[in-house]
Amino acid sequence: MIKTADALRTRIVLLGLRNAGKSSLMNNIFEKDISIVSELPGTTTDPVARAMELESLGPVTVIDTAGLDDEGSVGRERIRKTIERSESADIHIIVSRIDRAPSEDEIKTADVIRAGKGLLLVALTFSDNPPSAGKLEWVSGFTSCRVDNISGKGIGELKKILISFGSKTSFEPSPLEGLVREGDLVVLVTPIDLAAPKGRLIMPQVETIRDCLDRDCAALVTKERELKSFYDSLSVRPRLVITDSQAFHKAAADIPPDQMLTSFSILFARKKGELSEFIKGITEIRKDKGRPKVLVMEACSHHRQADDIGTVKIPRLFRQLVNPDAEFEFTRILPEPDELSKYSMIIHCAACMITRKTMLSRLEKIKNSGTPVTNYGLFLGWANGLLPRALEPFEDIYMKWKDFQFS
């Protein structure tokens, strides 16, 4: 991999009414034509995302969205997508014409962002026109700048403000944060099966290897079949063994019982979301719910193989260990709030391809529905009898394990 993963980039989302100048601003930020510009309202339909490096802010993804005032049934769907992108944003830019009073949609959007303590910049476009007194009064409570998309005036100031937001942006923790020290050896068990992308490793493995190097640790990468022979030949005891969740049982059998062990998926349960919330979900797994309906949720699109972990392995283990009559549904899109409550449990993937902010937003909606949620790695750790062992590296969670009582 030679590019920063999208999930690790700072996400900047452009929001605003139709024909407010969002697409023109996008083109000016990148200094080339990215989005289609037209005087016709509603030119931008699906969100348009492009990546760039923005000085000390580092790698960013800038996303142009449909108008907040779009109309009709298709327009409502476009607005839904715009809201989804807004929820995942690290920095919001409301693009608003300086010569018009603030609309109800603009005011509501800004209030939602401020209530969620999000970073907000108001870009006042059409700045060569006389300003609206109401607009100037409204933006006095926000960070703002004036932009002329025709001449490009103000784009430099806008970028400086974005860069200054870097010190206020919260970055998700790295996979090994708090788990290793300089000079430690980490063993990574990475099966190469049908699901492994040809010529590459999957995202959690790549990120963890890089984190080892950043932390001045050594990484031994091996397949599960070679783990025992390599482990037994080591003269230095590894600080940690991290395995693909599907190889949990074999990895545990091939190393000493006192060797700390966890999985990539559990690392990412902490990195992307709330590890304690996923553990609470596991404690609900044996509660009598008649014929349970389980939702297996993935965060990205991939070609599903014959023995796919989400659609085949997890349902098979669930029916063997929990309830043979369990029903399963599969999705890559979070259902609406009123639909979530119909499920007995949600089992979510490692979420390596989405941001922590997106995952936390999902978790909040799931918690509000009252539906238990867990993670692939924690489910497979439980299914292989490796809880709480697989939580031992996370000292705070491990010490609280007794508080997570099973029914």
pLDDT of residue 234: 97
Q: Which CATH number fits domain 6-168: 3.40.50.2000, 3.30.43.10, 3.40.50.300, 3.40.630.10?
A: 3.40.50.300
Does 407 have pLDDT greater than 50?
Answer: no
Whole-number average pLDDT of the chain: 88
pLDDT of residue 41: 54
Q: Where in the chain is the domain with CATH 3.40.50.300?
A: 6-168
pLDDT of residue 1: 45
Q: Tell me the pLDDT tens digit for each residue of 70-126.
A: 887 777 777 878 887 888 888 999 999 999 999 999 999 999 898 888 899 999 999
Share of the chain above pLDDT 70, in %: 91
CA gap 400, 214 in Å, rounded: 30
Q: Tell me the pLDDT tens digit for each residue of 327-339.
A: 999 998 889 888 9
Residue 232: CB atoms within 10 A of its CB come to 10
Does 133 have pLDDT greater than 80?
Answer: yes
Average pLDDT over every residue of 172-191:
94
With bands split at pLDDT 50, 70 and 90, how would you rate the model's confidence at 3?
Answer: low
CB 260 within 8 A of CB 392: yes
pTM of the predicted structure, to 2 decimals? 0.77
Q: Where in the chain is the domain with CATH 3.40.50.11410?
A: 274-403
Q: Tell me the pLDDT tens digit for each residue of 205-236.
A: 999 999 999 999 999 999 999 999 999 999 99
Q: Tell me the pLDDT tens digit for each residue of 24-63.
A: 999 999 987 765 555 555 555 567 889 889 888 888 999 9
More confident site: 189 or 117 = 189
What contacts 328, CB < 8 A, 6 or more positions away?
293, 294, 295, 296, 311, 315, 318
Average pLDDT over every residue of 372-382:
94
CA gap 256, 358 in Å, rounded: 38
Share of the chain above pLDDT 90, in %: 60
Does 289 have pLDDT greater than 80?
Answer: no
Does 130 have pLDDT greater than 50?
Answer: yes
pLDDT of residue 305: 63
CATH code: domain 274-403 is: 3.40.50.11410
Quick one: CATH architecture of 185-266?
Answer: 3-Layer(aba) Sandwich (3.40)
CA gap 97, 135 in Å, rounded: 8
Q: Tell me the pLDDT tens digit for each residue of 300-352.
A: 765 566 678 899 999 999 999 999 999 999 998 889 888 999 999 999 999 98
With bands split at pLDDT 50, 70 and 90, how would you rate the model's confidence at 69?
Answer: confident
pLDDT of residue 39: 56
